[in-house]
Amino acid sequence: MKIAVVGTGYVGLVAGACFAESGNDVVCVDKDEKKIATLNDGHMPIYEPGLEEIVRRNRQEGRLSFTTDLTEAVQQSSIVFIAVGTPQGEDGSADLSHVLGVAREIARAMNGYKVIVDKSTVPVGTSDKVRAVVKAETAHPFSVVSNPEFLKQGAAVEDFMKPDRVVIGAEDRRAEEMMLELYSPFTRTGAPIMVMDCASAELAKYAANAMLATRISFMNEVANVCELVGADVDQVRKAIGSDRRIGTSFLFPGVGYGGSCFPKDVKAMMRFASEKHYDFKILQAVEAVNHCQKTRLFAKMRAHFGDMAGKTVGVWGLAFKPRTDDMREAPAIPLIDALLDAGSTVRAYDPEATKVAKGIFGDRVTFTSNNYDALKGADCLAIVTEWNEFRRPDFPRMKTLLREPIVFDGRNLFTPDQMKQHGFTYYSIGRA
Ligand code: NAD
């Protein structure tokens, strides 16, 4: 099949590469000329495990190309994906200007029947808006499909190639059949393709992210209570996770959720509910808890040191989660801001996000080329992202580098017993 994907970010680039990998001819479009030039030069504008290899192979085999020319891409394709950003607007609602702008451009470029697929995360009713925008611009026939994306950054290629499910909101049989054919290679393992109305498909994406954010905030509150009553959140987590109604995933407390999706999608869901005069109280609490949780590591440091002025803090992990370079809404940002405001010096290391972090903090933070250098002369270590390479460190070496052996672990990478044995003063989340 001939596919165009408009928007070459975490979702669009992964989707385009994976559709090419399953044998389709794919052209990826972006208005960002630098990004397209980078891709055409054989480099990756983002870090995502396994992506570079798939992009390289499919480019070489002639199934994947990159362009800024939307018109040509649309004209040579039968299915056109919209995978541009839907950032948070000023009032918390999803900003649809990119999605609708692209829909208009697609309409103007059309030269025959097209299936226009919205892959961006968009509020209920957006497929109707896309339909109206396209209809106003062209007499060519078209179908609008809603196909929300559930991939996780850090495992995006794997998630796309082996999805838990594919959700398709379709308005007619022709578009539905084309989508079923396109996705059939990805669901051979038995993952369901769920065809539904567009409103349900659009809402399913928000409900999934809101549910996951709710679990995180819930467990963070459980962890905070554990600290107050002398319980161990790891034990509590295992005890409740073994209940099949609850399950084990997404029960890890930490320093709050971040990223480009959970914060904005929770806000957008509250917003479109409130537009229908519905007060989504649980999500208000989820958001408030998350905001507080992002301040807890700094609060623990202040409780230990009293004053943070003049202290040097080594920070391990900047990205909002491991295996990505994405720092959008990353908990490291408010932590480092609080430290700098308090007069601390920050030495930070992240395996992939340093370049992005330099764009945020400039020379206010010292970025090191490995995790041990971040500890040189530091009064303590703060762990913010649970990269695997931080899990088995050389503890004696850490002790020689740190001025005092103190660790504030926002991701519970170690056990309190283990840290005691190694002679560290150790603070974590939800454990005495
Ligand atoms: P992103 O910001 O990484 O990428 C968006 C891309 O769209 C950018 O490269 C931008 O230049 C391009 N773009 C914007 N306007 C354009 C236009 N008019 N023409 C051509 N290109 C244009 O965003 P993302 O993280 O890939 O997310 C895209 C959508 O998918 C969002 O709605 C997001 O909520 C959703 N989503 C994201 C994830 C994720 O993990 N990142 C997962 C599932 C769903």
- Of all protein residues, the one whose alpha carbon is nearest to atom 44 of ligand 1 is 149
Catalytic residues: 261
Last residue of a domain, one of 256, 271, 292: 292
Residues 31 and 176 in one domain: yes
- Please name which of 352, 294, 295 lies closest in space to residue 318, comparing C-alpha atoms: 352
**Distance from Cα 8 to the centre of ligand 1, integer Å:** 7
Mutate to test the pocket of ligand 1, among 6, 8, 11, 153 (most ligand atoms within 8 A of CB): 11
- According to the 3-state scheme, what is the secondary structure of 220-283? HHHHHHHHHHCCCHHHHHHHHHCCCCCCCCCCCCCCCCCCCCHHHHHHHHHHHHHHCCCCCHHH
Residues 224 and 324 in one domain: no
Closest ligand 1 atom, CA of 45?
9
Closest ligand 1 atom, CA of 7?
7
432 pLDDT exceeds 80? no
Identify the bridge partners of residue 249 per DSSP, sorted by sequence position.
none
Residues 272 and 233 in one domain: yes
- Of all protein residues, the one whose alpha carbon is nearest to atom 19 of ligand 1 is 31
189 pLDDT exceeds 90? no
Last residue of a domain, one of 146, 173, 196: 196
Span 62-85, mean pLDDT? 98
The pTM score is 0.94
Residues 191 and 138 in one domain: yes
Query: Is there a domain that residue 394 lies in?
Result: yes
Query: Is there a domain that residue 432 lies in?
Result: no
Residues 264 and 324 in one domain: no
Which residues span the domain enclosing 331? 294-427
- Of all protein residues, the one whose alpha carbon is nearest to atom 10 of ligand 1 is 7
Residues 127 and 264 in one domain: no
Residues 249 and 160 in one domain: no
CATH number at residue 343: 3.40.50.720
Span 197-208, mean pLDDT? 97
Query: Is there a domain that residue 411 lies in?
Result: yes
123 pLDDT exceeds 80? yes
171 pLDDT exceeds 90? no
Closest ligand 1 atom, CA of 105?
18
Last residue of a domain, one of 196, 230, 259: 196
Mutate to test the pocket of ligand 1, among 6, 30, 72, 100 (most ligand atoms within 8 A of CB): 30
Residues 43 and 159 in one domain: yes
Closest ligand 1 atom, CA of 261?
34
Query: Is there a domain that residue 389 lies in?
Result: yes
Tell me how far apart the 2 most distant CA atoms of the chain are, in Å. Answer: 73
Residues 323 and 337 in one domain: yes
4 pLDDT exceeds 90? yes
**Distance from Cα 135 to the centre of ligand 1, integer Å:** 24
Provide the mean pLDDT of the chain: 97
Any residues with Cβ below 6 Å from ligand 1, and which?
6-12, 29-32, 35, 83-86, 98, 101-102, 120-121, 149, 151, 153, 260-261
- pLDDT exceeding 90 applies to what percent of the chain? 98
Residue type, 35: K
Distance CA 15, CA 163 (A): 12
**Distance from Cα 325 to the centre of ligand 1, integer Å:** 15
Query: Is there a domain that residue 396 lies in?
Result: yes
Structural domain total, the chain: 3
Q: What is the pLDDT of residues 349-404, one digit of tens each?
A: 999 999 999 999 999 999 999 999 999 999 999 999 999 999 999 999 999 999 99
**Distance from Cα 347 to the centre of ligand 1, integer Å:** 31
Mutate to test the pocket of ligand 1, among 260, 264, 325, 356 (most ligand atoms within 8 A of CB): 260
Residues 176 and 63 in one domain: yes
- Of all protein residues, the one whose alpha carbon is nearest to atom 1 of ligand 1 is 9
**Distance from Cα 38 to the centre of ligand 1, integer Å:** 17
Residues 51 and 94 in one domain: yes
Query: Is there a domain that residue 340 lies in?
Result: yes
Residues 124 and 33 in one domain: yes
**Distance from Cα 220 to the centre of ligand 1, integer Å:** 29
Closest ligand 1 atom, CA of 32?
11
CATH number at residue 261: 1.10.1040.10
Cβ–Cβ under 8 Å, residues 385 and 316? yes
Query: Is there a domain that residue 334 lies in?
Result: yes
CB-CB neighbours of 125 under 10 Å: 14
- Please name which of 61, 60, 63 lies closest in space to residue 16, comparing C-alpha atoms: 63
295 pLDDT exceeds 80? yes
Span 124-130, mean pLDDT? 96
- pLDDT exceeding 70 applies to what percent of the chain? 100
- 85 DSSP 8-state letter: -
Helix axes 332-341, 354-361, angle to 10 degrees: 40
